[in-house]
A and B are shown apart, each in its own frame.
Chain A
């Protein structure tokens, strides 16, 4: 199915998605939003992997995507746990106010 879309279109969509995620990660202050933005960037990478896999007619792209999804799930649980602990401690998840570890 994805094979019927030209590779350049897939890559363009992937790049657009990545930029959206990047902008979110850099500009937002809410830790959970940043986290979600990072997930968006990761999925942009997944999309690129799928596009290349289809274009080359191999399965490795799809296999790699499954790995990324699995690790992203594990990472999400760790990240969310950190946010919960952080919130209990500082009562905020605004990253601009969480800056104790500096010079």
Chain B
């Protein structure tokens, strides 16, 4: 049926790259690592796009209108788990959703690999090889995650990306902070994964399988039978999503994940891995739609995370930290969309966010590169003359994330806000709108502090500051271009677009038996215009305010505000002290429990029992040894007594 490469080739290529660079990279040097690490991802991208184009344009339409064949291609590679009661295959799936995911995972991944060749060029041979091996392993895991045909294989990718995240955050493991941040990310993710596992157990219990098609079809065909169990299952799955996608209350690992090299932050902690939760929820849209309570939780958590992280982002001075909180906030947007049933808007935002957030992170990396690793924006300023390309791309991506038309972020953010409003959730809509303003504000604060004004660092830094090599600027330019035009796939009918992404993704939304179709109330076009205007207005207000306060007045107004409310400012700057809270209510009791297990259970009980046993044996020996008198006649008497005793026993037994 298909002339392209089989689907398993797409993840297998980076896996091969991982093995080659991981096993031989240190010995063969950087050129080899670059060739293999970059080449494997490039080939995977080619393979993915081959299949994608073939898939999308399977049925050419006469009118030239965008059309495709809404089938799901499942390619089974082999058996995996095969017992009498339960079976799971290694099988890959190409449907509109996974097609959308691999389109940007491979492409953005490739760009970030290119960027890394420049960014990591000064590392040692061993470090360089290790870095690319991990990146390739990440690409493999992520592609398995999005191409999997059942929950079990998805979980393999899910855990794989978590592992790579841990390895790459702790890339500079000699530094205590990097190592402990990696550990934190891993542990927090494990908590979420536990929920995901419980959700999978629930699915096996209810449906007897983990195959996507079978679960979704049976759920859609007989909602009355399955709906009661699904609320709990969906909540468990969502716990997994909050861990992986850094939502309240499990978001705490993502800001610390910025200890990893910047390309890692861009690839894993902004563009791809953290969107896995949104992908999973969208993949399970049938289940979530049958569990309205779970949907409500998703929406509320998403909105709360969006505003919470945006507020924290306003008061951070570390460029990457601002971007991290911005990522958390934008992920909150995506979950908000999913929670009100606008899965398409959520996935659309995943796509556009991948472009502009990767661009922002890579831009931040470029600034760090120029500033010899400096990351505090209080010590920057006026860099737009030194770094023209970085400045231009960063500005475009900032405009995109702020939702300024006609950039990509505008369309996706507007789609989400419209959907939330249309779903009749005015409070959530208000939060989302306010967050949009905050987003524009804190992002323009970064632009103003870093690129505008006068330089505030040391003279050496100023002298050293230079534009990054071409391997770094070209990905920036490509990503900035995508941030401009990426929205084109989802232009709503209101603005004369076809909302192609909604048509494209339509087949993944199975219709549920006995439930009317429809995606919420249709809004009047005047209402839609109003919503659109409102979202642009708050973005522009936030943007201009940040521009005036930080670029023109050099931050005096915010300083006065901070001085007027010192307690509130400290609270926000300290990230609401959530880390401290978790430390007090989770980490410390846990450490105390561990110490209890060590000092009491292990040392006292286990060692005590063992030592007491040994002591008793020794004591018995100390007493009994006096029986060994060395006198043969005593022994002979012992023999006699023994024989007499034996005879008495034998006789008595008779």
Contacts and interface: CB of A to CB of B under 8 A. Distances in A.
B620 to A, nearest CB: 14
Contacts of B626: 103
Contacts of B629: 99, 102-103
A74 interface: no
A103 B628 contact: yes
Size range of the interface on A? 10 to 19
B619 interface: no
Nearest to B624: A103
Given A22-B640, A26-B640, A95 B633 contact: yes
A100 B632 CA distance: 11
Contacts of B640: 22, 26
Contacts of A103: 625-626, 628-630
A102 B628 contact: yes
A42 interface: no
A55 B393 CA distance: 119
Interface string A71-103: 000000000000000000000000110111111
B633 A96 contact: yes
Nearest to A99: B630
A71 B637 CA distance: 24
Interface string B577-606: 000000000000000000000000000000
Contacts of A48: none
Given A103-B625, A103-B626, A96 B631 contact: yes
Contacts of A34: 632-633
Nearest to B643: A22
A102 to B, nearest CB: 3
A49 interface: no
Contact of A95 (B625, B628, B632, B637): B632
A25 interface: yes
A13 B626 CA distance: 38
A96 B633 CA distance: 8
B628 A25 contact: no
Contacts of A100: 630
Interface string B610-654: 000000000000000110111111001100100000000000000
Contacts of B633: 26, 29, 34, 95-96
Interface string A24-38: 011001000010000
30 contacts: A22-B640, A25-B636, A26-B633, A26-B636, A26-B637, A26-B640, A29-B633, A34-B632, A34-B633, A95-B631, A95-B632, A95-B633, A96-B631, A96-B633, A98-B632, A99-B629, A99-B630, A99-B631, A100-B630, A101-B628, A101-B630, A102-B628, A102-B629, A102-B630, A102-B631, A103-B625, A103-B626, A103-B628, A103-B629, A103-B630
Interface of B: 625-626, 628-633, 636-637, 640
Interface of A: 22, 25-26, 29, 34, 95-96, 98-103
Given A34-B633, A102-B628, A102-B630, 17 more contacts: A25-B636, A26-B636, A26-B637, A29-B633, A95-B633, A96-B631, A96-B633, A98-B632, A99-B629, A99-B631, A101-B628, A101-B630, A102-B629, A103-B625, A103-B626, A103-B628, A103-B629
